Amino acid sequence: MIGRLNHVAIAVPDLEAATATYRDTLGAKVSPPQEEPDHGVTVVFIELPNTKIELLEPLGENSPIQAFLDRSPSGGIHHVCYEVDDIISARDRLKEQGARVLGNGEPKVGAHGKPVLFLHPKDFNGTLVELEQA
């Protein structure tokens, strides 16, 4: 059901500093910052030959990333994102298997302009999983 790894997301307390580390120290190609108010984050994507790294900074006081950074002030891996061919059939199959879909269970538009869903980390070995329609 899952396809390729789309990205690994890293929560960071300072997006500008983290961007500079990837761009200047590691020599990576980094996208411009993009605000995603529906998800409460500002993101940049680091382009790699085989996938992407997404850096997440809280946007607004109710950002779920702020709660993550309150527990891990220096940041860390927040989630992994896998592509699926059909997000609705993937959701329905996962729910039939007992997996919990976060939020209201309906896809939201993600940073790539495609439908996304998040799956409860307790159902996936402590890892928050994002599914993105390919």
Burial of 44 (0-12, 13-18, 19+ CB in 10 A): buried
Rounded Cα gap, residues 122 and 126, in angstroms? 5
Note the CATH number of domain 2-133: 3.10.180.10
Span 18-59, pLDDT tens digits: 999 999 999 999 999 999 998 999 999 999 999 999 999 999
pTM of this structure: 0.93
Please report the pLDDT score of residue 60 as a whole number.
86
CA distance readout (Å), 91 to 4, 71, 76: 17, 29, 27
Catalytic residue among 54, 57, 83, 130: 130
| pLDDT tens track for 2-20 | 999 999 999 999 999 999 9
| Average pLDDT of every residue of the chain | 96
The closest alpha carbon to 117, from 130, 104, 127, belongs to 130
Radius of gyration of the CA atoms of the chain, in A:
15
Task: Clarify whether 96 is annotated catalytic.
Answer: no
Q: Judge residue 70's burial from the number of C-beta atoms within 10 Å of its C-beta, 0-12 exposed, 13-18 middle, 19 or more buried.
A: exposed
